């Protein structure tokens, strides 16, 4: 029986281990921490309330075999999962809420600034070939909207930059919606979005308009799921780990790869820091590629990378939240360091009065005390000012968001290509491959990569 080694115990690694095992292969999964799940593991406060480490709401992938492993059969889905047909989000900007979209409404700017900015946006009627975020934003939105809208979002996510042209044009700022804006009334927006150049930089005013566009383009809006358990996402991780163990996968936690040994163009052994040697016919790698390259004594492309530190504030209150419909929210206002907020009770009634706020900072930044974050949430109108704090948990996670410089992007690509070419029997997937950001996309990529590799081997 051939032996497969899966490195990385996040959801992608668990999926890989399950799929490889189903093909009749012996699988060993290696995870360096003391438990699988990665950032999808939940944390508990002193009162044993479970909180997710950020906003994680998975969706059905549309691949039956994959969805059956992730969420169970249709009967099990109804029993264990809450179906969320539409994720309800919104954004806070200029001290006002917009509960229809995460896209910033430029009309909230001072009138003179808005009029100048929208004039620049409309006059830019050609595509941009710029590869850095500042030039791209100025080419498409104009200098005024870059300075007043995009730049503050960059600062909130990645910190103030000496030179914004060192950041790539395509990064999480795009994912979070800061390079697309609301600029005119609804009718004018609909008309302008018929032109590709404006479609790329104007957002819809209402979610129903976005849904109509998906229908027109033949795209089905995904269905989202959230565990019914009060444990939140931890219940999902626990279920996946149990499924993987039950099918015969051996999981080794608190293990570090010390070396990878090759015979010609194939990796044949995985050596652990404990001294254990695992024979290997196929290696699935979902950790950062440079770790594998170092384990093979190959020269990695090392650059100076700046990582952000995530501060995650979890609160349990004695009164209901004032926002009773949003699932998660974005804060683009400069008045608070918070950038994303999760309102658990609005999609799981067993987690009423629980809220999580996330902020990013440099390691050297002074920590914002939980009391200040709580006051910010009250000022935003999300929490009743008369609420009492029953319990809280403040998480500090270093080395999360990397600042998306060109050096970093090129290093990721180079290390990925080097690792891919280093051996014939390696699959590189997961978020660290640099190809995908969203969890659903990562899992589909894992499924396709393994299916393709196994079909080629038969």
| 41-82 pLDDT, tens digit each | 999 999 999 999 888 899 999 999 999 999 999 999 999 999
Query: Average pLDDT, stretch 17-40?
Result: 94
Where are the domains positioned within the chain? 3-34+253-302+404-457, 38-101+221-230+307-401, 103-205
Q: Which two tokens stand for residue 14?
A: 């668990």
- For 179-320, where are the E strands, in sequence order? 181-182, 224-227, 250-252, 257-263, 266-272, 277-279, 282-285, 309-317
- Residue pair 341/382 in contact (Cβ under 8 Å)? The answer is yes
Determine the length of the chain. 458
Averaged pLDDT, 407-418: 90
Closest CA to 170 of 453, 443, 404, 451: 404
pLDDT of res. 278: 95
Name which of 262-276, 296-310, 375-389, 414-428 the model is least confident about: 296-310
Q: How many whole angstroms separate alpha carbon 224 and alpha carbon 409?
A: 31
Per CATH, the homologous superfamily of domain 38-101+221-230+307-401 is: Protoporphyrinogen oxidase, mitochondrial; domain 2 (3.90.660.20)
Q: How confident is the model at residue 433 (pLDDT cuts 50, 70, 90)?
A: low
Q: How confident is the model at residue 455 (pLDDT cuts 50, 70, 90)?
A: low
**Within 10 Å of residue 185's Cβ, how many Cβ atoms?**
10
Closest CA to 406 of 17, 132, 158, 3: 132
The answer to which of 76-85, 240-249, 299-308, 315-324 has the lowest mean pLDDT is 299-308
Q: What is the pLDDT of residues 190-201, one digit of tens each?
A: 999 999 999 999
Determine what percent of the chain falls in helix, strand and coil, rounding each to the nearest 5.
40, 20, 40
Per-residue pLDDT band at 365 (split at 50, 70, 90): confident
Segment (H or E) for 342 = strand 338-343
Which two tokens mark 13?
């690694």
38-101+221-230+307-401 and 3-34+253-302+404-457 share a CATH fold:
no
Q: Does position 312 have pLDDT exceeding 80, yes or no? A: yes
pLDDT in tens, 138-177: 999 999 999 999 999 999 999 999 999 999 988 776 666 6
Top CATH class of 3-34+253-302+404-457 equals alpha beta
Which pair of structure tokens corresponds to residue 447?
A: 């499924």
| Interatomic CA distance for residues 369 and 71, integer angstroms | 37
Structure tokens at 170: 């395509």
pLDDT cut 70: percent of the chain above it? 96
Cα 116-118-123 angle, rounded to 5 deg: 100
Q: Which two tokens stand for residue 153?
A: 């979002």
Q: Rounded to the nearest 5°, which phi and psi values hold at 316?
A: -120, 125
Across the range 24-36, mean pLDDT stands at: 95
Q: Does the structure show a pLDDT above 90 at 313? A: yes
**Is 88 in contact with 150 (CB distance < 8 Å)?**
no
As a whole number, the mean pLDDT across the chain is 92
Place of tokens 């390079």: 179
- Helix (H) / strand (E) element for 75: namely helix 74-80
């Amino acid at each position: 029986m051939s032996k497969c080694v899966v490195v990385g115990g996040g959801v992608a690694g668990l999926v890989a281990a399950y799929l490889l095992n189903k093909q009749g292969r012996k699988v060993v999964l290696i995870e360096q921490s003391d438990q699988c799940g990665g950032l999808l593991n939940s944390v508990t406060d002193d009162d044993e309330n479970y909180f997710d480490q950020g906003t994680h709401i998975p969706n059905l992938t549309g691949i039956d075999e994959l969805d059956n492993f992730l969420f169970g059969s249709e009967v099990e889905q109804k029993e264990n999962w809450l179906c969320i047909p539409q994720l309800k989000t919104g954004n806070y900007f200029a001290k006002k809420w917009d509960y229809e979209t995460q896209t910033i409404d430029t009309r909230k700017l001072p009138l003179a600034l808005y009029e100048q900015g929208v004039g620049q946006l409309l006059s830019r009627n050609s595509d941009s070939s710029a590869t850095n975020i500042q030039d791209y934003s100025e080419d498409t939105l104009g200098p005024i909207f870059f300075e007043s809208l995009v730049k503050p979002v960059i600062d909130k996510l990645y910190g103030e930059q000496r030179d914004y042209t060192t950041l790539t044009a395509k990064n999480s700022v795009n994912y979070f919606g800061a390079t697309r804006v609301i600029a005119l009334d609804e009718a004018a927006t609909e008309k302008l979005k018929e032109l590709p150049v404006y479609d790329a930089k104007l957002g819809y005013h209402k979610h129903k308009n976005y849904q109509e566009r998906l229908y027109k383009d033949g795209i089905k809006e995904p269905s989202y799921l959230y565990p019914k358990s009060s444990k939140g996402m931890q219940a999902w991780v626990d279920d996946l780990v149990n499924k993987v163990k039950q099918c015969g996968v051996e999981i080794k936690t608190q293990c570090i790869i010390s070396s990878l040994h090759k015979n010609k163009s194939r990796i044949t052994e995985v050596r652990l820091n404990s001294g254990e040697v695992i024979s290997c016919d196929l290696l699935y790698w979902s950790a950062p590629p440079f770790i594998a390259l170092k384990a093979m004594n190959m020269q990695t492309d090392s650059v100076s990378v700046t990582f952000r530190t995530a501060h995650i504030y979890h609160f349990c209150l004695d009164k209901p939240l004032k926002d009773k419909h949003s699932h998660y929210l974005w804060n683009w206002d400069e008045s608070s360091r918070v950038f994303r907020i999760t309102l658990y009770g609005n999609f799981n009634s067993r987690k009423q009065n629980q809220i999580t706020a996330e902020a990013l900072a440099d390691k050297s930044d002074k920590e914002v005390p939980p009391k200040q974050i709580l006051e910010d949430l009250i000022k935003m109108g999300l929490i009743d000012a008369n609420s009492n704090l029953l319990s809280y948990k403040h998480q500090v996670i270093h080395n999360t968001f990397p600042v998306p410089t060109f050096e970093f992007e090129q290093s990721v690509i180079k290390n990925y290509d080097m690792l891919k070419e280093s051996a014939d029997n390696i699959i590189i997937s997961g978020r660290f491959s640099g190809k995908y950001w969203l969890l659903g996309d990562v899992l589909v990529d894992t499924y396709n990569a393994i299916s393709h590799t196994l079909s080629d081997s038969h």
